Structure 1
Amino acid sequence: MSHHPPVRKLRPQPDLDQLKRQAKELLQAFLDGDPAAVTEVNAFFHGADPATFALHHAQLVFARSHGFESWPKLKAHVDGVTVQRLAGFVRAGDIRQVEAMLKVRPELANMQMSYGDEHRPLHFAVMNRQPEIARILMHCGADARAGIHPHRDATTAATLAAERGFDEIVAIIETEEQKRREALSGPDTAVTSVQDDLSSAIASGDESQAFAMFQADPSLTVASDRDGWTPLHTACAVRNPALVDWLLRHSASPNQPGKDGRTAFDLAAMGRRTIQPQQFTAVAGLLRQAGAELTPRAAAALGDVEWLSARHAEGRLQNPITWSSGGLLTLAVRHNQPEVLRLLLDFGFDPDERIRSGEGEQAAISQAFPLWHCAELGRLEMAEMLIARGANLNQHVDSSGSPVYSAFSHRQWAMVDLFTRYGGIVGPDTAAIYRRTDIARRLLEDETGGTLPEGVVSPGRSVAADLLEFGCSGGAPEIVRLALPHLDWPRDDPRWFRYLARSLDFWNHIPWLYAANQELDRGTYIDCFLQVLARCNPNIVGGFGRTVLHEVAAMGDHVTEEEAAPFARALLAAGAHTNPRDEILGSTPLGWACRWGRLEVARILLEHGADPIEPEAEAWARPRAWAEKMGHAGIVKLLVDRGA
C-alpha cells in the first residue's frame, strides 16, 4: 500500500477550539489503527508508539501537517501572529509591535506574504526607509537577497537599498551578513564578502578564478559565504572533482554542515545540474576517502540499500523534502537507482513527495517530483514502479508542470505513451506552449461537451483560459484565436494583464530553457499579443502597480531590440499611458527602459511624449538616474539630447 500523508490547509478565520477537536480526533483515529491517521502520524512524527502517543503528540503532528513547526506556532498564527500582520506593523513603522511579533515567531522575518506575493517584511522596511526595523529583521534571519517575481534580481532588499542610495540600510545588511559569515565559519577564520564571490566563481564553473582566489587567500578554503556554504559545499554541488580534491587536501572539512544542516555529500547528491555518473562517483569517492559520513541523501544517490535499510530498522530514516529538489525518491530516480526507489516505496514513503510553501489558507503544494524526473530522464521502469504505488500523473511540481508535461517537453515520447495509457493527460498548458492546435481543439470540445476529465485544469480555471495563457507564452496565435471567443471578460478586467504579459515571454526561444524549441518561428508572439490587446484596456494594472508597458521595457535579454519595439508601439497606439509608476521601483515605463537598457523602447516612449526629466519623481527613480547607475551610455545620450 502506498502512503500519501495529508497536507492540510487552514480555512479562512480558523477557530482554535475546532482545531483542538480535530487534533483529538486524529489522536483517537491513530490509537484505533485508522490507516489514514497512521500514515499522517508516521509522516510527521518519528517513531510513534500507540502505547505512549498522547494528545500533545497529536497536536504536534496536526500542526506539522498544516506546515507549522509546532502547536504553539500554529496557535500563534490563529491568534494573528502572521507575516501579513508583521508586514503591516513594518509599514506603519511600529517597532514595538514588530519586536513583539518576532519574539513569538522569529521565522516571520524571512517569510514571503504568500506563494503568489514574494514581498517579505524586509522589502517594506527598505522601501519605507526604516533602518532600525531593517536591522531587527536582518538580526532575525531575513534574506536581503530574495527578490520578488517576476523581476527577482532587480527587487531584492539589498538591490533596492543600494539603488535608492539608502546607505545606512546597505550598511546594516552588510554588517548582519558579515556576522552570519563569521558565525558559520568559526571563531578563528577571517571572513569577508569575498566568500560570496568565490561561491559564484565555483558555481559558474570558473575553476581558474577560484584557484586564483585560493592562492591569494588560503583561508578561503574553510570560510562560509552568507548562505552558510563553504567552497567544498559549492564544489560538490557542481560535482567538480578537481576542486573537491584540492579543497579536501587543503583543510576543508568533509562533514561541516551548511544551510539546513546539509553536508557537502548532500549537495553532491542534490546538485541541480544534469548528473554525470562519472563526476558524481569521483566526488563521492573523494568525500568517503576523506571521512565524509553517509547521509540518507548520499546513500540514496549511491544506491546503498544496506545502509538505508539499517537506518530504517533503527527507526532513524526520514525523507527530507525540499521545494526545489524533492526528496530521497527523487534522488533515486535522478541517480538511476531503481532498487533504492523500490526500497523507499516499500518503507511507505510518499511516492509524490508532497511539500508545502507558506502557511495557513494561502499555502501552496508542490508534488510529483519523482515521476517528473522519470519523465525527464526516460526512466520507464521506475515510472511504472511509482505509478503502481499511486503516484499522480497530473499533479504539478510547483511551476514546472506535471509529469506528462515533463515527458512532452523533454521529447520522451515513449514516456508520453506510458503516461497516457495510465490516465495522464496532455493538458492545455502543454498543448498551447508547444503549439499543438489539434490537442487544444480537442480539449475545448471536451470541455464544451462535458467530457473533460477531472483535474485537467485547476479549480476556478477553464481550458480556454489556460490555452490563452500558455498560447501567448508559447507564441501560438492559432490557439489564442481558438481560446479568445470562450472568454467574455470586460475590457477592464484585471485578468487581461496576465495574458498580455505572457506574450512577452518568448518562451520557446529562451536560450537556457530545457523545454525550448528554438526552431519555431519567433515572429508569432506579437500576433498573440495583438489579439489579446484588441480585447482589453491597454492600461490594465498588474501586481505592484506595474503596467504592460512596464513589462515591455523589461523584456528578457533573449528578446532583441527589434522584437521588443513593436510591442511598445502597439500599446501606445492603443492608448497606453506613459506616466504610471510601479510600487516597488517607483518608476515609469521610461524609467524601467532606462534601468533595463531598452534603448529602442526608451526612444519610442520619448517619441510618444514620455517626460525625460520627471522632476516629480524621487531622484533615484528618474530616467537619467537609472541609465547612469546601470551604465547605459546610449540611453544617457538619448535623454540628454531630450533635455534631461
Structure 2
Amino acid sequence: MAVPPTPSPITLQKLPAKPDLNQLKKQAKELLRDFKAHEPDALTLVTRFFTPPEDDSLTLSQAQLTLARSYGFESWPKLKAFVDGVTTQRLFKAVMAGEHATVKNMLDRRPELVNASGDGTGNGERQLIHWAILNDDPRMLQILMDAGADAHKGIWPHRESTDAYTLAKERGLDHLVNIIDDSEMQRRESMSCPNITISPTLDQLNTLITDGKNDDAIAMLEAQPDLIKQCNREGGSPLHVACSVANEQMVDWLCAHRADARKVDIKGYTPMDHAVLATDWKHAHRIEASLSIMDRLMVRGCEVTAMGAAAMGDCERLKQLHKQSPGCLKGGHHWYWGWGGYLSVAVIFDRKDVLECLLDLGLDIDEPILLDTEEDEAWSWGGPLWRAAAMGRHELAAYLLKRGANPNANVYASGWPLDRAYERGDQKMVDMLYQAGAKPEAWTLCAAFDVEGVQRILDEKEHTPDYLRELVWSAACCTCLPIVKLVLPQLKLAADDTHWHDLLSQPLRCGVPSEAVKPADYNDDDRFEIMRLMLDAGGDPNARGRFGLTLLHFVAARDGFAAWSLMGEKNRNRFATMLLDAGADPSLRDELLGSTAMGWACRYGRKDLVQLLIERGVPVVEPDALGWATPMAWAQKMGHVSIVKLLENAM
C-alpha cells in the first residue's frame, strides 16, 4: 500500500479509447495555427510542454512534440507508435506468448519499452525479461538483451533475489545465464575503447574504488593498465566510478594516466555528471570533494554539462545551453538519489543564483516528472523543496515557496517536505511549510508521532475508510503504537480483505522513529504489540501479497526497513512464532522463487528460523517442490553448510 496520492502537478490530455493518427496530425496543425495567432490556450500548452525559441517561432514538428508531451509521451514518434498499437500491455502479452517476431518489431519501433515493468498493467515491477526467464525462452531472452534489457533489476521488496540473472542462475538455467553474460560482454566491449579486451577483474576493481581501497585499486591498475579504458554494464569507466563516490585520489590517478574525462556512459552521463550525482542530502559531506573533482575534469577537457553547470553555479553556461536547445533543461531524471532535475542540483549545492536563473528560463519550480506514460500515470514532483527541507536550507526553501513551490508536492516513494523537516527536528522549517499551506499526510503524522494531530482528524470526522487504513499502515511501519491503538478499532476490515497483507507486513519492517521525534516511552518491542493487535482485529496470517508472497516469506527474507532498523534473528523468530501461533501456513509457495517459508529461510541463511520451523513440525522434505526450489537445494546452492546439517539431521 502506498501513501495517499497527491493531485497530479500537471493535467495531461487523455487520448480517446481508439486514437486516430490523422486526427492527431490535425490537432498539431491547429495548435501551430493557434500559437501563431496568440490564442491563450495554445500559448499555455506550448509554454508548459515546450520552450519556444526567443523569437516565439514554432515549427510543425515542434507543435507535434508539444502535443505528444501533453499526452504523456516523450516524442511524436513514440505517440505515433502507441497509436499504432505498440503499447506496454501488448508487448507484455507478446513476450508471455512467445511471439518472437512481434516482440522484435515492437521493440524496433519503441526500444525504450524494453525495461517496462508491471506486466503491462501497472501491477508490480516484473519486467519483460522476467517472463523470458520464467518461460525458459532463450530466443526471447536474446531479443530482449539485444534491445538493451536490464537483467539485474529485481522486484521490490526482495530485489536481491528476484532480478532476471539471479532467477536464471538459481533455477539452474545455465543456457539463459550464458546468453545474459555473452550479451553484457558484447555491450561492454562496444562501449570500451577499441581493441580492448574486457577483463573479468573489472568489477573487482570498481568495487575497490567504490570502497575507497585505493592502494589495492592502483596496484591492480598498474598490473593491468587496460582496465582504465574498460567499461562496466552501464558503460561507465573506472573514472566514472571514482567520480560517483567522490574518490578524489582515484580521480587524480586515473586522470594522470590518461583516463577519458569526456566519455559518456549508456545514459549519456560524463564523469562530471557522476561527480554531481555523488552528492545529495544524505551525502552532503561529499559536496566539496565533488566540486574539486569537477575542476580537475575541466582541466582534462571534460565539457561542462548542464548538471555540472548547475552544481558549480555557472549560470552563463546554463543560458548558453538553453539558447542552443530551448527546453533542454526541462524535465527530470531518475538519478542515483531518486527523481530530480537541475533545480534539485542547485538546491543540493546551495546555489540560489542558479535557482533564479533556471526559473527565469522557464523551468517548473516543482520539477514534475511523469514516471509512466501509459497504463498507470504517476508523477514525482516537488524535488527542489523536498531537498531544501531535507538539508535544512531555509533560505532556499523560503525562496522556492515565494516563487510558488507547492509545499504538498510528493517525491515518488520518498514523501513530502514536511516529512524531512520533522525527521530533522527542524521546527523553523516545519513552521515555514505550514505557513505556506502544507497539509500533513497520514504518513507525516505517524512518522512525527503526532498523536494529537491524528486525534483532531478523528474528532472532526474528516476522514474516509481509506484514510484510516493509511493511518494504521503508516503507524505500523513507523512503530507508533499509540496511533495504532487510536485508529485500529475504527478500521473495519473483513478477514479476507486484500489489504491485510500490506498492513500486517509493516511491523516486520522494524521501522524506528528519528531521534528528533522519538518519545521518551518509545520501545522497539511495540512492533510486536502492533502485530498482535492487528491479528486480534481479524488480520489473516495467511494473507498474500504480490506474487503470492506470505508474511512468513517476508519474515524469512527481510532485514528491516533500512540499515538502521535491522530485524535481527531474535526478532525474526519472535515474529514467526506469532504468525504460526495465529495459524500461518508454512506450506504456501510464492510465484517467483516457487518456495515455501522453509525454502526462503534456507536461501537467505536464516539458521535460527530454520531450526524454529523444524521444531514446529514443518517438513524439510518437500516432494511437490521443483528440484531447484527445495529447502536442501537452496541451502546447498547458497553455501549455508550449517543449515544443510540441520536439514540432514531432521530428515
TM-score by length of 2: 0.90
In 2, Cα distance between the equivalents of 1:536 and 1:398? Answer: 29
Structure 2 partner of 1:281: 291
In 1, Cα distance between the equivalents of 2:259 and 2:11? Answer: 40
Describe the superposition over 1:407-459 as per-residue Cα deviations: whole angstroms up to 9, x where unpaired: 1122222111110111112322022134332222223334x1x4x7xxxxxxx
Q: Does 1:225 align with 2:229?
A: no
Q: Which deviates the most, 4-13 or 304-313?
A: 4-13
Indicate if the aligned counterparts of 1:178 and 1:192 stay in contact, CA closer than 8 A: no
| Residues 76-87 of structure 1 aligned to structure 2 (within 5 Å) | 76-87=81-92
Q: Which deviates the most, 427-436 or 219-228?
A: 427-436
Describe the superposition over 1:279-313 as per-residue Cα deviations: whole angstroms up to 9, x where unpaired: 12321221122222111111111111232234444
Closer/same/farther in 2, CA of residues 368 and 30 from structure 1, 3 Å limit: same
The offset of 1:24, in angstroms, is 5.5
In 1, Cα distance between the equivalents of 2:130 and 2:456? Answer: 45
Indicate if the aligned counterparts of 1:565 and 1:604 stay in contact, CA closer than 8 A: yes
The offset of 1:565, in angstroms, is 1.2
Describe the superposition over 1:104-145 as per-residue Cα deviations: whole angstroms up to 9, x where unpaired: 222222211266521111001111111111111000000001
Structure 2 partner of 1:456: none
In 2, Cα distance between the equivalents of 1:20 and 1:580? Answer: 53
Closer/same/farther in 2, CA of residues 399 and 5 from structure 1, 3 Å limit: closer
Indicate if the aligned counterparts of 1:99 and 1:136 stay in contact, CA closer than 8 A: yes
Structure 2 partner of 1:367: 381
Q: Does 1:607 align with 2:615?
A: yes
In 1, Cα distance between the equivalents of 2:541 and 2:161? Answer: 24
SS of the equivalent of 1:572 reads: helix
In 1, Cα distance between the equivalents of 2:263 and 2:519? Answer: 43
AA aligned to 1:442 is R
In 2, Cα distance between the equivalents of 1:445 and 1:19? Answer: 51
Given the alignment, which residue of 348, 358, 364 partners 1:344?
A: 358
Q: Which deviates the most, 80-89 or 166-175?
A: 80-89
In 2, Cα distance between the equivalents of 1:623 and 1:487? Answer: 38
In 2, Cα distance between the equivalents of 1:222 and 1:517? Answer: 50
Describe the superposition over 1:31-80 as per-residue Cα deviations: whole angstroms up to 9, x where unpaired: 34356644543454454588753554323222234442322322332443
Structure 1 partner of 2:496: 492
Describe the superposition over 1:469-512 as per-residue Cα deviations: whole angstroms up to 9, x where unpaired: 11111111221122223322211011111111111111228xxx
In 1, Cα distance between the equivalents of 2:649 and 2:364? Answer: 63
Closer/same/farther in 2, CA of residues 373 and 589 from structure 1, 3 Å limit: same
Given the alignment, which residue of 550, 556, 564 partners 2:572?
A: 564
Structure 2 partner of 1:33: 38
Indicate if the aligned counterparts of 1:405 and 1:430 stay in contact, CA closer than 8 A: yes
Structure 1 partner of 2:210: 203
Structure 1 partner of 2:368: 354
In 2, Cα distance between the equivalents of 1:622 and 1:602? Answer: 13
Structure 1 partner of 2:523: 521
| Residues 475-490 of structure 1 aligned to structure 2 (within 5 Å) | 475-490=479-494
| Residues 277-426 of structure 1 aligned to structure 2 (within 5 Å) | 277-315=287-325, 318-319=329-330, 321-323=332-334, 324-426=338-440
AA aligned to 1:220 is L
Counting aligned pairs with the same residue, the percent is 39
Structure 1 partner of 2:563: none
Q: Does 1:553 align with 2:556?
A: yes
Structure 2 partner of 1:152: 159
AA aligned to 1:184 is M
Closer/same/farther in 2, CA of residues 588 and 260 from structure 1, 3 Å limit: same
SS of the equivalent of 1:357 reads: strand
Indicate if the aligned counterparts of 2:465 and 2:491 stay in contact, CA closer than 8 A: no
AA aligned to 1:63 is A
The offset of 1:96, in angstroms, is 2.6
Q: Which deviates the most, 296-305 or 500-509?
A: 500-509
Indicate if the aligned counterparts of 1:591 and 1:621 stay in contact, CA closer than 8 A: yes
The offset of 1:91, in angstroms, is 2.1
AA aligned to 1:288 is M
| Residues 216-255 of structure 1 aligned to structure 2 (within 5 Å) | 216-255=223-262
Tell me how many residue pairs correspond in the alignment: 627
AA aligned to 1:524 is D
AA aligned to 2:149 is A
Q: Does 1:128 align with 2:146?
A: no
TM-score by length of 1: 0.91
Given the alignment, which residue of 118, 122, 126 partners 1:119?
A: 126
Closer/same/farther in 2, CA of residues 41 and 412 from structure 1, 3 Å limit: same
Gaps of 5+ in 1: 453-459
Describe the superposition over 1:375-416 as per-residue Cα deviations: whole angstroms up to 9, x where unpaired: 011111111111122211112111110111121122222111
SS of the equivalent of 2:370 reads: strand
AA aligned to 1:321 is G
SS of the equivalent of 1:175 reads: helix
In 2, Cα distance between the equivalents of 1:592 and 1:46? Answer: 52
Indicate if the aligned counterparts of 1:539 and 1:548 stay in contact, CA closer than 8 A: yes
Describe the superposition over 1:173-222 as per-residue Cα deviations: whole angstroms up to 9, x where unpaired: 00000011011113222213433333333233332332232123111112
SS of the equivalent of 1:215 reads: helix
AA aligned to 1:431 is L
Structure 2 partner of 1:501: 505
The offset of 1:165, in angstroms, is 0.9
Given the alignment, which residue of 164, 172, 184 partners 2:171?
A: 164
Q: Where in structure 1 do 4 or more consecutive aligned residues deviate above 6 Å?
A: 513-519
The offset of 1:270, in angstroms, is 2.3
Closer/same/farther in 2, CA of residues 40 and 233 from structure 1, 3 Å limit: farther
Structure 2 partner of 1:106: 111
Given the alignment, which residue of 189, 196, 199 partners 1:192?
A: 199
Q: Does 1:577 align with 2:585?
A: yes
Closer/same/farther in 2, CA of residues 281 and 107 from structure 1, 3 Å limit: closer
Indicate if the aligned counterparts of 1:201 and 1:209 stay in contact, CA closer than 8 A: yes
Closer/same/farther in 2, CA of residues 444 and 19 from structure 1, 3 Å limit: farther
Closer/same/farther in 2, CA of residues 341 and 52 from structure 1, 3 Å limit: closer
